[in-house]
Amino acid sequence: MSTPSRSALAEAATDAVTTPGSATVLKPLEVAGFWAAVALPFLYLPLVVAGPSSSAEQTALVVMVLAHVVALVLGHRHRAD
């Protein structure tokens, strides 16, 4: 296993210092929101196609669509750096 070069460590330290604390906290939420927005349609699309037949299925569909909207809002700024 190789050790990172001194310049890579210095660069990481500089990024940590220049990155605002709020960005450090929000980044995991952006990543989670992005991937949730990608995955959620695979969960609720079959329910949309089959049509919700009970009130529990209707509630689940509404909750999943609302969760998808929240995930889109949280993850819309995610960039793969």
Per-residue pLDDT of the chain (81 residues; tens, 9 = 90+): 555 555 655 565 555 555 566 667 778 888 888 889 999 999 888 888 998 899 999 999 999 999 999 998 888 877 766
Residue 28 maps to a domain: yes
Full-model pTM: 0.64
Residue 11 maps to a domain: no
CB distance 33 to 67 below 8 Å? no
pLDDT digits (tens, 9 = 90+) for 32-55: 888 899 999 998 888 889 988 999
Residue-level pLDDT at 26: 79
Residue 70 maps to a domain: yes
Domain that holds residue 27: 20-75
CA distance 28 to 51: 34
Residue 8 maps to a domain: no
Residue with tokens 């809002």: 73
